[in-house]
Amino acid sequence: MSGSYALGVDLGGTKIEAALVDPNGALLPGSRFRAPTGRESTSGQLAASAHSVVVQALATLPDDATLVGAGIGSAGPISVADGLVSPLNLPAWRDYPLRQQVADLVPGLPVSLRMDGECITIAEHWVGAARGENNLMGMVVSTGIGGGLILGGMAVAGPTGNAGHIGHVEVGGFDEPCLCGGTGCVEAVASGPNTVAWARSQGWTGATGEDLAAGYAAGDAIAIAAVRRSGTAIGQAIASATALVDLEVVAIGGGFSHVTPDIFDFVREAIAKRAPFPFVAKVRVIPSGLSGEGPLIGAAALIHREHVVA
């Protein structure tokens, strides 16, 4: 199987993954590997997980193929200039040199680091649900909430690499404290774990996002209220982002975005309240077209699609 591949690495609050991706945005079969992360992990455990998935993915490179570089998408905040990551939900890593750790495993090749939300946005623009759109945001709704921006056809990272971090936009009517120091940030309200926590505070007895999905499907009133609350907060955040940068499309992925298709209706209902501002109400909210592969495809796109990375 000749050709060229880029290594994609995706670091999140519960797992780190790596895979090889071809120039058409397809994962090489058998090259995807996962290892755990998590709030309780030590720095050494996180580093070992990163090393494991990268080494395993690289070992699947066909003998007649070429590796052209590595792209890393990480939960934020990050420092692009220094190659450092400080994921809010991984307290053991503050200013951790993840780019250098990966670079040491692919000597002589380019290694690019961007926020995971930006990677997802690039993937949706390249081979996902937002092909043909030039002003869009990609969102991840999972353990945390992340995002990224493409404006005028170019990915926007900002001077530190954290542009588009929609999870830490505050939303009106909510007062949950956020780990970032804010109050009522959409991540503190609407992420999977925080939605579950709110439901439990109302007397619901489940424990996970999967339990919440089952409760919603069964018509449990608290589960329904929790999902509606989450969707409303996400919609308010999207409306605010659209007011700021005039978005046309928002593509949402991540595990908790699959809790029920109805969550998209709740998101859209919140945006529709901005009808007096048609340029805000116009934004289309759609599910990711890439399922769980989006973050890895987007990370690899930092190499394959470097011409769209500002």
pLDDT of residue 299: 96
- Answer yes or no: is pLDDT of 2 > 80: no
Q: Which pTM was predicted?
A: 0.88
Q: What is the pLDDT of residues 128-170, one digit of tens each?
A: 999 999 999 999 898 889 899 999 999 998 899 899 999 999 9
pLDDT, mean of residues 53-71: 97
Enclosing domain of residue 86 = 3-115
pLDDT, mean of residues 275-304: 94
Position 79, amino acid? S
- Confirm if 290 and 297 have CB atoms less than 8 A apart: yes
- Confirm if 167 and 147 have CB atoms less than 8 A apart: yes
Helices (H), 59-204: 98-103, 116-127, 186-190, 192-201
CA dist 229 and 261 (Å) reads 14
| Structural domain contains residue 93 | yes
pLDDT, mean of residues 238-246: 97
Find the helix packing angle between 116-127 and 294-304, rounded to 10°. 80
pLDDT, mean of residues 33-37: 97
CA dist 257 and 295 (Å) reads 14
CA dist 301 and 16 (Å) reads 17
pLDDT, mean of residues 69-78: 94
Q: What is the pLDDT of residues 138-149, one digit of tens each?
A: 998 988 898 999
pLDDT of residue 306: 85
| Structural domain contains residue 230 | yes
- Answer yes or no: is pLDDT of 112 > 70: yes
Q: From start to end of 44-144, where are the E strands?
A: 65-74, 78-79, 84-85, 111-115, 135-141
Q: Do 41 and 111 fall into the same domain?
A: yes
- Answer yes or no: is pLDDT of 1 > 60: no
pLDDT of residue 85: 97
Q: Do 183 and 76 fall into the same domain?
A: no
pLDDT of residue 310: 62
pLDDT, mean of residues 75-96: 94
CA dist 209 and 12 (Å) reads 17
Q: What is the pLDDT of residues 183-221, one digit of tens each?
A: 999 999 999 999 999 999 999 999 999 999 999 999 999
183: CB partners within 8 A, 6+ apart: 170, 175, 176, 177
Measure the CA dihedral 134/116/257/155, to 10°: -10
Measure the CA dihedral 13/18/22/23, to 10°: 40
pLDDT of residue 254: 87
| Structural domain contains residue 310 | no
| Structural domain contains residue 265 | yes
194: CB partners within 8 A, 6+ apart: 176, 187, 188
| Structural domain contains residue 307 | no
Total structural domains in the chain? Answer: 2
Q: Do 94 and 209 fall into the same domain?
A: no
CATH number for the domain including 176? 3.30.420.40
